[in-house]
Chains A and B, each alone.
Chain A
Amino acid sequence: MNQHVSPKMNRRAFVIGTAAVGAGLAIGLDIPFGGPAVVRAADGSPEIGAWVVVRPDDTVVIRIARSEMGQGSLTGLAQLVAEELECDWTKVTTEYPTPGQSVARKRVWGDFSTGGSRGIRSSQDYVRKGGATARVMLIQAAADAWKVPASECTAANSVITHTPSGRTTTYGKVAEAAAKLTPPADVKLKDPKDWKLIGKGVKRLDTADKTTGTMIYGVDVKLPGMLNAAIKDCPVFGGKVKSFDEAKITGMKGVKKVVKVGDTAVAVVADTWWHAKTALEALPIVWDEGDNAKVSSESIAKWLAEGLNNDQPAYVGNKNGDAKAAIAGAAKKVEAVYSYPYQNHATMEPMNATALYTADKCEVWCGTQNGEAAFAAVLEASGLPAEKCDVHKVMPGGGFGRRGQTDYVRQAVIIAKQMPGTPIKLLWSREEDMAHGRYHPITQCKMTGAFDANNNLVALHYRLSGQSILFSLRPDALQNGMDPAAFQGVAQSGEAAFGYSVPNLLIEHAMRNPHVPPGFWRGVNVNHNAIYMECFMDELAQAAGQDPLEFRRKLMGNHPKHLAVLNAVAEKIGWTTPAPQGVYRGIAQVMGYGSYVAGAAEISVTDGSKIKMHRIVASTDPGYVVNPAQVERQVAGSFVYGLSALFYGGCTVKDGKIEQTNFDTYNSMRINEMPKVETVMVPSGGFWGGVGEPTIGVAAPAVLNAYFAATGRRIRSVPLRDQNITFA
């Protein structure tokens, strides 16, 4: 027998453990005479509207529907609620409602999805109203008790004051009475100039447990009687399990069961994950790989290259004038072909989920970027109705878009369903995680620019060929077959609009969908579009004999917000003053996720192949900044993620499978390779843009443009390791 020895009881593990028996966040109802229902949190404290629970000791519990995965949204969302609530920030704590509870209450907490840099911007309005609603109710309850008009009372720091008499009370004291009031139909939100908490770089609410090992990630979930599962899915996407020889491993230590997971995967369930993994590696599996086994990176590249030809069909995403005619009649033409590879999210914590299936209930504990999508996966895989299912979100060890998908949740339920009553923790090995990502899509791009006799850019043709994410993951979002998201960063208008005015413009996408499953990878289509466009802008500037910054500025007169961040970056890096001896600069800008960003890099290059990063400067205009300290971290982190992909990334395909297997073949930047990122925030107000993703778009082109400045050599494909270029 394997023994689980636990020297000290871990509080969070205990909470999660008991959650298996009862509900995670039990909500009770009592209906007093003459008033609406009072909804209670698990500890009996009353809800003041769905977003706020106030305890008698004045602790304020703020409900968070979106997922925290490191990006800081949990803290930012709490700030938004607390700003309007006028509560004592030092007494704020948070909790996740479950998707099951939300569905049971007609989705009172709205969308749980945490992707597309939407965490703050898509919920800021209703969460602030949630805070304001609670404040109005709390003040009203105090006014009722004092028998004075509510208009004579104010609230600050969880204290309500009756101004004329100077009487005071606290939120905790009036919470019970407030909970019985009918919420106001409408509330007025503060003018941004009156914000006290929004815009402040307050400390994150979730840091302490991350420094002591007590934070529970999906991989750490423990349930009574739990077994562990390791899984192997057919390495060729689309392939199936033909057979496996279970008898070869049934006697191995700790092995409890070998199960098929759908048509494509096999899992070994054992007492420990180490035993499960060891046995899985010894299990002979025969795959039916199918036709996809013939696909390679070379065959994909060839197919995509065909899409660059103008005789192939393409969807037009942005157009004005007649680019093809203008190019045909131009005084001078510049043409270049770029490419960007598949990338794996490689979250530090591999995919995992813990499922408990019984005849009348199915519960899952996992890190997820979309609690409701995970919930839907549980319903589908368990075959049980919504009222018998739930998902308990725990901290994910990174998301970056990967944990918006639910493949691992579905697998855990399918395994658990074959062992009713036994909780099963499914954990992917790093190798499985590399083999079964939802990869950044693969594309190529041919760009042609044309000048008149005075070196004015008169036409630009941007022809993208490659994979559509929506085609694979959200076909309902295609518009007459076109993937509108393919034009992120080069779109005509909207949250990822092109920042240049060119009299004759054609931006189009020849869709080619290889069998490798694509996904939303931090920055999504902004990544390659920004590299293509911003590197080519430098090529055009060079052809025109102009400074890359000045060349851009002349095209950006109608795009003042794009231009403002570019100017901010140029000023901070000192573009107009010479760089130190041997140091070269590159610059780039893009719009994505409703925000305007720009970046500049200073690098030196030894022997044409060893890059040392000296400085990175980044500017961002997300409209409003909720927490500048977290924005700074997201901007810096975007460079680490984006430059890791540029230097070390790239997933290649051989015999239909991904070749990279772990961090030895899919490396990531370390501290010695990364300079300080100097972030300039220029929030212009009046709109809410995202922060987690847009900056990644400018990371690679700023460095590639600096590399050209240093060497005179254009790099048009990623990763740099393929060209023997690495960090000094």
Chain B
Amino acid sequence: MANLTINGKNFTLDVEPDTPLLWAIRENAGLTGTKYGCGIAQCGACTVHMDGAAIRSCGVSVSEAEGKKITTIEGLASGDSLHRVQEAWIAQDVPQCGYCQSGMIMAVAALLNEKPKPTDADIDEAITNICRCGTFQQVREAIHTIASA
């Protein structure tokens, strides 16, 4: 059993302590917005926030996540009002297939928390998610739009 705080709610989940957080989120908490892409912390599709920092949830065990505040893509909006990254993503039509975008949006949201006006170099360093459709151009433009708002 594990007690996790996800999107401000407490979950008591029947999982082994070494279960990757990703699978506890998807299969036990039932929040499928966080995606599986590689399972080895390479692609970033499973990015969530743990105590505000962007982490790859496939590489973190449930036991490491206990007592931390986990935020997934489902918890990024405040009630009915979308997070500004989500709004920018919609306004600039960023996603193609969209599968990587939950992780991409979570990574960008964490970057903007830390650096409200990131330079291109900041973006290059912080955003290391794989997008096979190739949305990088729209991702970069949307980040700059948010930063200049």
CB distance from A669 to the nearest CB of B (A): 8
**Chain B residues with CB below 8 A from A636, complex form:** 134, 136-137
The listed residue (A213, A633, A662, A671) touching B102 by CB distance below 8 A is A213
**Chain A residues with CB below 8 A from B33, complex form:** 212-214
CB distance from A280 to the nearest CB of B (A): 13
- For chain B, the bracket of interface size reads 35 or more
Given the complex of chains A and B, what is the CA–CA distance between A638 and B133 in angstroms?
Answer: 8
Given the complex of chains A and B, what is the CA–CA distance between A83 and B86 in angstroms?
Answer: 30
Assess whether A370 is interfacial by the CB under 8 Å rule.
no
Binds B, one of A3-11, A53-61, A120-128: A3-11
Known: A662-B38, A663-B38. A212 touches B82 (CB 8 A): yes
Beta-carbon contact of A430 and B38 below 8 Å: yes
Beta-carbon contact of B45 and A1 below 8 Å: no
Assess whether B147 is interfacial by the CB under 8 Å rule.
no
CB distance from A680 to the nearest CB of B (A): 15
Given the complex of chains A and B, what is the CA–CA distance between A645 and B137 in angstroms?
Answer: 19
CB distance from B79 to the nearest CB of A (A): 12
Beta-carbon contact of A671 and B73 below 8 Å: no
Beta-carbon contact of B124 and A210 below 8 Å: no
Which residues of chain B (80-101) have a CB below 8 Å from chain A? 82, 86, 89-90, 93-101
Beta-carbon contact of B32 and A663 below 8 Å: no
**Chain B residues with CB below 8 A from A629, complex form:** 93
Beta-carbon contact of B100 and A348 below 8 Å: yes
Beta-carbon contact of A7 and B96 below 8 Å: no
Q: Return 28 A-B CB contacts under 8 Å, by A number.
A: A4-B30, A5-B30, A7-B9, A10-B32, A69-B97, A70-B96, A203-B93, A207-B90, A208-B90, A209-B98, A210-B98, A211-B90, A212-B74, A274-B20, A348-B45, A348-B133, A349-B99, A397-B100, A430-B37, A430-B40, A633-B96, A637-B134, A639-B134, A663-B42, A671-B124, A672-B125, A676-B140, A677-B137
Given the complex of chains A and B, what is the CA–CA distance between A1 and B125 in angstroms?
Answer: 43
Assess whether B130 is interfacial by the CB under 8 Å rule.
yes
Beta-carbon contact of A670 and B43 below 8 Å: no
Beta-carbon contact of B130 and A670 below 8 Å: yes
Given the complex of chains A and B, what is the CA–CA distance between A669 and B27 in angstroms?
Answer: 30
Beta-carbon contact of A213 and B73 below 8 Å: yes
Which residue of chain A has its CB nearest to the CB of B87?
Answer: A211
Taken residue by residue from 662 to 683, chain A's Cβ proximity to chain B (1 for < 8 Å, 0 otherwise) reads as: 1110001111101011000000
Which residues of chain A (185-230) have a CB below 8 Å from chain B? 203-204, 206-217, 219-220, 222, 228
Beta-carbon contact of B96 and A349 below 8 Å: no
Assess whether B123 is interfacial by the CB under 8 Å rule.
yes
How many residues of A are counted as interface, with CB atoms below 8 angstroms from the partner's CB atoms?
A: 70
Taken residue by residue from 111 to 124, chain B's Cβ proximity to chain A (1 for < 8 Å, 0 otherwise) reads as: 00000000000011
Beta-carbon contact of B130 and A72 below 8 Å: no
**Chain A residues with CB below 8 A from B32, complex form:** 10, 13, 213, 216, 219-220, 222
The listed residue (A208, A398, A640, A662) touching B136 by CB distance below 8 A is A640
Beta-carbon contact of B134 and A674 below 8 Å: yes
Assess whether A365 is interfacial by the CB under 8 Å rule.
no
The listed residue (A4, A219, A641) touching B132 by CB distance below 8 A is A641
The listed residue (B23, B76, B77) touching A272 by CB distance below 8 A is B23
CB distance from B6 to the nearest CB of A (A): 8
Beta-carbon contact of A213 and B74 below 8 Å: yes
Assess whether A382 is interfacial by the CB under 8 Å rule.
no
Beta-carbon contact of A662 and B30 below 8 Å: no
Beta-carbon contact of A664 and B40 below 8 Å: yes
Beta-carbon contact of A6 and B99 below 8 Å: no
CB distance from B36 to the nearest CB of A (A): 7
**Chain B residues with CB below 8 A from A348, complex form:** 35, 37, 43, 45, 97, 99-100, 130-133
**Chain A residues with CB below 8 A from B90, complex form:** 207-208, 211
Beta-carbon contact of A641 and B89 below 8 Å: no
The listed residue (B16, B31, B38, B125) touching A253 by CB distance below 8 A is B16
Given the complex of chains A and B, what is the CA–CA distance between A10 and B43 in angstroms?
Answer: 26
Assess whether A354 is interfacial by the CB under 8 Å rule.
no
